[in-house]
Amino acid sequence: MVAEDGESRQQTHYFHCDQIGIPREMTDKDGKLLWFGNYTGWGRLKEETKVTDSAYQPFRLQNQYADRETGLHYNFFRYYEPDAGRFVNQDPIGLEGGKNFYSYSSNTTKWIDILGLCVKEAEKN
């Protein structure tokens, strides 16, 4: 975070995720709620509440970073379109990733694709 005086100030925030790693809440070091959000089945943020004006939480489905300019989610190797529930770039590993070069996962409550290369079953804690 950068303060009004131009000084950089480091802050600690904690993410509270659901069973498959999607951030649902963000709190500060004292446990004060800063942000919470609800998502569609394919990971589009359908509603968010910023408890403080400075709260910014760009993370979406597992390991995805929301790009404000495009509305897409970045997955290291390609971009994901949450309204369509699929990637906009072909799978860089080709057929090793499956027959559909643009698919994400057929079950977002059970399967994850952390890098955008292949889906795997979410580990249970």
Tell me the C-alpha to C-alpha distance, in Å, between residue 125 and each of 20, 27, 33: 10, 22, 24
The b-or-e profile of 100-118 (16+ CB within 10 A means b, else e) is ebbebbeebeeebbbebbe
33 or 91: whose pLDDT is higher?
33
63 or 108: whose pLDDT is higher?
63
Residues 42, 22 contacting (CB under 8 angstroms): no
**pLDDT of amino acid 95:** 61
- In whole angstroms, give the CA distance from residue 80 to residue 63: 11
26 or 100: whose pLDDT is higher?
26
- In whole angstroms, give the CA distance from residue 93 to residue 33: 40
For tokens 């955008």, the residue is 116
pTM more than 0.95: no
**pLDDT of amino acid 119:** 66
Q: Of 6, 30, 28, which Cα lies nearest the Cα of 15?
A: 28
The proportion of the chain whose per-residue pLDDT surpasses 70, expressed as a percent, equals 69
Query: What order of strands is seen across the sheet that includes strand 45-50?
Result: 13-17, 23-28, 33-39, 45-50
Residue 42, pLDDT > 60, answer: yes
